[in-house]
Structure 1
Amino acid sequence: MILNEFSSLPSGFKNGFSSIINDVLYIGLGSLGARCYSLNLSRENATWERCIDFPYGNISNPVSAQCGNSLWLFGGVVDGQMNEVVYQYDSKEAVWLSYNSPCPAGLLGSVAHAQSDNEVIFVGGYSKPVFDDFSRQISLLDPEEKALALRGFLSQPIEYYNWNRKIWKFNIEYKAWTVLADNPYLATCGSASFEVDGELWVLDGEIKPGLRVSQVNAFNLVGGCNTSRSFESIARSDREHEGLAGAFSGVVNGHPVICGGAYFIGSQENYRAGKLYTHEGLSKTYCCNTWVWTEERWQQLKNLPLGLAYGCSEVYRDKMLVIGGEKSDGSASNQCFEIELE
């Protein structure tokens, strides 16, 4: 594995979006507020340029998909409530557009995958009613009451949160939502994903706030995601690994690659023991490991120079780009890395 650093971001970046359209990498929102930037990847020594700001306020943790000459934004959080508006950035016209096309399920934390220039598929995601109701309740409380309410909220079993178990499809032309299939696995948020040989791989993620799962599931895109299969998890190669949320991922030279992400060591044991506030008192581990799927198993490669999670990743010309991310002290990184397989 070859690891190189490339153009540093103008400021730290996490919890935002990324997309590549016609050799140009776009990022924005999250810790950047309404700001957006672009980087022309086809030019040597290119630097980040300020783009048109997002005109609809700041959205934290949106999910994005690139379709044709546009990037599309879904979900995320605005003013403590889950966003329902769908946004489009038309790169040719350099303009943002909005559509009042709410998804019947919450998309915060979901996986978004553009199956074509006209269709986007979603797996996982929070329950909008559960998330919004708790956010409204806690906003009315004083600090001491908030702490008690948060503890109660985090001390619930997996089923309580009612995360999205449907696989949804959004038709860009008609702005219409349909259900493709039921997800036979535990619903997740913050999973990594990519497409391999006509399958959408969904890796790890949270199964309730603070509790990750180590699972790799592949959904058959050709069959409308009605069939799926599971793979060996990363935990088989790392006994302390508890499943990643907010990891970076992509397919490089035909090989799935995943790196970074965060988890709490001991949370799974706590849940098995009946301690439902699974990460209480535990320190979050920010992973610097890199794994590649080869010869039907996960193998560790060279580490990132620091642990990172909740940034963005893209693949460009057989290199995986790791863009920003949250560091172990909670701050946003402005570093960007290229991962190339030897």
Structure 2
Amino acid sequence: MKKRCLIWGILVFQYVVSLAQSVPSSSTQLPDYPITQGVSAPFAGFIKDWLIVGGGCNFPLKPAAEGGEKVYYDQCYALNVQSECPQWIPLPSLPCPVAYGCAIETPEGLVCIGGANADSCLTRVFRIQAADSPQKFAIQPLPSLPETIDNAAATLLNGCIYLTGGNQQHRQNALYKLDLNTDQTWQKLAAYPGPQRVQPILVHDAHKLYLIGGYQAASDTSESILSHDILCYLPETGRWEYESDIPLEENGEKRCMAGGSGTQTSTHLILGGGVNYSIFKKALDGKAGKDYLTHEPSWYRFNDDLLCFDFTHKKWTQHPNIPGMARAGGILLLHRHCLYMVCGEIKPGIRTPQITVYPLKKERDFQNNP
């Protein structure tokens, strides 16, 4: 424990003295998440300095490669990242076991939306919020989705939650909006064009939404479609537009960012994690081979870099080879000038309990208002 506290103190010191540079520094870990084998696709976000993580799924009894059964969780935990010796504390259980939903940080708490479990896809929406006494949290129901949605993406812009992509009940591409101040129901907006986008990323630049990547599964008549572009939605006009392509891999291959995660500052969007385009497409199309789940993690070539897009100058930068970033189904968060990669898969079917922290070295390049 003393060693972990010393590491945390060194981390803070390194961040303070490194603000004159411009790329993420070396990573470190917080205490492992309490579910020993880790989870993928949990709800995760910050309430003040408390990192909240709940739900998610894994294969606890037998690996997926051996036909193991996926288990979904309703446990929820919190950790104060500003504590000298951070420790996880249990919170009230979620209303049901759930993974593959969306979590959105709001001034009133962490809003958790949709998802799925072993029994069904979900419409449930609720907010985890701080109670009156320290280290106490409560769960408040919010208006349910008009249809079941899982593996979607969401973001908060001007007091409104926007949700799109994923597996929608009728294979739609709808965009939904909930004004947290006035709405009692979700409003259905213009559908995004093109194929479905399961596991996309949704961020914003304070003016418009950016819908990034995702995939459409194969059908009886067609192969899968992995989207390697970015669409924008302008709330003022209610229109979708093509923005750009996702930057290519270093070897020139496409990216789809499926299983990846993203966040934004006032000046940049930041993307991390996700699967390899070509390897994942073969798996979706049934062409990966019977030994697909048996390889070492490095074989799957999950993205181990950070992609950053400057909203003003329309310029991409890449920060490669970041330890702990190569995850699918992990959650990338930004808090007090640090990036957090929360849990996720290190290969298909194998999760990690690690929470990896990346202090940002240049404050003015990654402004954030926690």
| TM superposition score category, shorter chain reference | 0.7 to 0.9
Match of residue 66 from structure 2: none
Q: Work out whether residues 190 and 246 of structure 1, in 8 Å CA contact, stay in contact via their aligned partners in 2.
A: yes
- 127, 146, 166: which one pairs with 2:174? 166
Aligned Cα root-mean-square deviation (Å): 2.7
Q: CA deviation at 1:313?
A: 1.5
Gaps of 5+ in 2: 1-22, 58-71, 219-223, 293-299, 363-370
Match of residue 287 from structure 2: 280
The residue type equivalent to 2:45 in the other structure is: S
Aligned equivalents of 2:165, 2:41: Cα separation in 1: 17
1:261-292: CA deviation from partner (whole Å, max 9, x where unpaired): 01351666x7xxxxx96243264542222222
- Alignment partner of 1:202 is 2:191: no
Q: CA deviation at 1:30?
A: 0.9
Match of residue 229 from structure 2: 215
1:183-228: CA deviation from partner (whole Å, max 9, x where unpaired): 134331211232224222221111226642211222224x164253
Q: Work out the percentage of aligned pairs sharing the same amino acid.
A: 15
Match of residue 300 from structure 1: 318
Match of residue 127 from structure 1: 168
Structure 1 segments of 4+ aligned residues over 6 angstroms from their partners: none
Measured at CA, do residues 341 and 213 of structure 1 come closer, stay the same or move farther in structure 2, by a change above 3 Å? farther
1:85-121: CA deviation from partner (whole Å, max 9, x where unpaired): 222223235222335x44334421111112244x311
The residue type equivalent to 2:188 in the other structure is: V
Match of residue 16 from structure 1: 42
Q: Work out whether residues 181 and 224 of structure 1, in 8 Å CA contact, stay in contact via their aligned partners in 2.
A: no
Match of residue 103 from structure 2: 64
Aligned equivalents of 1:289, 1:336: Cα separation in 2: 16
Q: Work out whether residues 246 and 255 of structure 2, in 8 Å CA contact, stay in contact via their aligned partners in 1.
A: no
Gaps of 5+ in 1: 130-161, 271-275
Q: What is the DSSP-based 3-state SS (H/G/I as helix, E as strand, rest coil) of the residue aligned with 1:77? A: coil
Q: CA deviation at 1:45?
A: 3.5
- Alignment partner of 1:81 is 2:120: yes
Match of residue 175 from structure 1: 184
The residue type equivalent to 1:299 in the other structure is: T
More displaced, 189-198 or 285-294?
A: 285-294
Q: What is the DSSP-based 3-state SS (H/G/I as helix, E as strand, rest coil) of the residue aligned with 1:194? A: strand
Match of residue 332 from structure 2: 313
More displaced, 312-321 or 204-213?
A: 204-213
- 51, 74, 84: which one pairs with 1:34? 74
Aligned equivalents of 1:179, 1:39: Cα separation in 2: 36
Count residues in correspondence: 299
Measured at CA, do residues 267 and 69 of structure 1 come closer, stay the same or move farther in structure 2, by a change above 3 Å? closer
Q: Work out whether residues 315 and 321 of structure 1, in 8 Å CA contact, stay in contact via their aligned partners in 2.
A: yes
- 107, 124, 139: which one pairs with 1:96? 139
Q: What is the DSSP-based 3-state SS (H/G/I as helix, E as strand, rest coil) of the residue aligned with 1:98? A: strand
TM-score by length of 2: 0.72
Q: CA deviation at 1:76?
A: 0.7
Q: What is the DSSP-based 3-state SS (H/G/I as helix, E as strand, rest coil) of the residue aligned with 1:265? A: helix
The residue type equivalent to 1:315 in the other structure is: L
Match of residue 296 from structure 2: none
- Alignment partner of 1:108 is 2:118: no
